Every structure is written in structure tokens, then in C-alpha cells.
Amino acid sequence: MRIPPIVRKILVSLAGGGIAYLLTNATEQPQSITLILSSFVGGTLLMVQFLVDFERRLLSVEGALVSGLAGVSEASRQMRQLRSSRLDAATVTRLLNRTAEVGHDGPTVMYAFLEQEIRRLTELVRDLSGGETAYDGEDRDWLLSLTAVAVGSIDATSAAADSEFWDSELGLRYLALQGEAVSRGVTVRRVFILDSEDPAALREVEHVCRQQAAAGIVVRVMRSSGLAASSRVDPMFDFILFDQTLSYEVSSARALDQGGRLAIANTRLVVRPERVERRIRRFEELWSAAGPPAP
């Protein structure tokens, strides 16, 4: 059985006082002196124990205070960095507040999902701050979000006029967002690069071009055979320039399980100035070589 601290202190004090009483009594001191000395020793021992305990607690509080101040200092440093960033501090603060408000009674899978999404967002911020980030497979969130926030221009190239994509839910949402961008003053241009003379493929191109034009997008069409030899060295045909500062790039591969159709292998966001500048030159070269679609 564990003895409570206060009882232990009293027992130690009584033991010390008792020993002092026995020693003074053995030297045949007057009874009054014996009682005074034993009481003094016992009281002193009790006081010393309380002082030691007080100092221990004081050190513990001091350590906690230092740790707390260090945490406050770190939080203050991060807030200063956030305020100096071009990101909206209020938006980041709302994310932190909502994260802190997540309760403890939800399903485990919900917390795992939220942690995964926060990790993914953290990696996106880290990688894009470094100049480039990639996503395996087809993306939709980046494409739609970038279209929604563009303020100056959207310059896009496409190696195919795929009506199946443009008639899909994603394609229609993307087209609608481009129309909204045009309405707020954003210039949207698109070059379709064709490698087929098949009449059905040409009709598909005409259908897609009419969709694009109706949304206010300036469209041009060219055949890959019209590319200069130097232009064919660069295999990148599917990319979108947002405000001429960020390049959204798509790499395709043949999907054998889908009848050999092209499938998106990965999607990249690039903000490295030299890479974006190459894409700008590439787009202007293609735009100059292309012409208006057939009426």
C-alpha cells in the first residue's frame, strides 16, 4: 500500500523528533530542553520536506512554462511567416481551426481520410513551392480549380478533339468554367492538333470547335503533318498555360485494356520559369501554325 506524501512527511518528522528526544534525554538534559529540541528537529524536518517538494514543483512548473513559451514562440514565428506569405492567412487559419474542431466520436475511417488529405495537401504545397508536382493518372481537381482562379489567360493545346471527353461531366464542367473565365475577362485560346484525315474524326473536331466557340474560346486547328521538323522534337502536345506562369501538363500512354486508346499516365503542375517559358514559346509556335476551324 502506497503511503500518501503528507503522511510520509509527518512520519519522517516524528521519527526525526523522536530520535532527537532520545539523544537529548540520554544526555540527561532537562525535560523542557529535550522537548524543545525534539520539536525543533521534527518541525525543521517537516519544513525542509515541504521546501524540497515546493522546489521540485517549481522546477516542474518552470519547465512547463518554458516549453509552453517555446510553443507560443514557434506558433508566433509560423504566423509571422504566414502573414508574409502570398497565401490568404484567413483561409489557412480556417483550415487549422476546422482541424482543431474535429471531434473524437467519428468513425476511424473519417480521421484516416482527413489525415491522408492533409498529407496530400502538404505535399502539394511543398512540391509546388519547389517548382513542380505530379499526380499519377488523370486529374480533375487541379484542372477545374486552376480554370476557376485564372485572371489573365488560359492557353491550351490538345493532341485530339475528343468529343467523348467534352461531352462528359468533367468536360462540360471544364467548358462551363472556361466560359465563366471568358466572362470575367480571361482570354482563352485552344489549339487542336490533328493526325487523322478520317471524315468522322473531322466531324468530331467541328462539333467540339462549335462547343468551344459558343463558350467564347478562340479555337484554332492544325494537322500534325504541318509541324516543322524542329517542333516534332518536343513530344509535349497536351498542356495548358494558366496566366502564362503555371503549366498544366498531361502525359499519355496507350491503354491496352481499353482497345489501345490513349489514357492519361500522369499530370504535372510546373511553375519553374524556364520550363514555363518553353511552353509559352511552344504554344505561340503552334498557334501561329494553326488556323481557324472549318465553318
For the segment 129-142, what is each residue's pLDDT rounded down to a tens digit? 899 999 888 888 99
- pLDDT range class, residue 22, cuts 50, 70, 90: low
**b/e per residue, 205-232, with b = 16+ CB within 10 A?**
bbebbebbeebebebbbbeeeebeeeee
Q: What is the mean pLDDT of the chain?
A: 79
What average pLDDT does the segment 278-295 reach?
88
Q: Strand 261-270 relative to strand 187-194: parallel, antiparallel, unpaired? A: unpaired
Tell me how crowded residue 123 is: count the other CB atoms within 10 A of its CB. 11
Question: Is the CB of residue 73 less than 8 Å from the CB of residue 44?
Answer: no
- Residue partners of 106: CB distance under 8 A and separation at least 6: none
For 107, phi and psi rounded to 5 degrees? Answer: -70, 150
Query: What is the pLDDT at residue 255?
Result: 47
Closest CA to 165 of 290, 261, 293, 256: 261
Query: What is the pLDDT at residue 179?
Result: 96
* Predicted TM-score of the model (pTM): 0.69
How far, in Å, CA of 195 to CA of 156, rounded?
A: 17
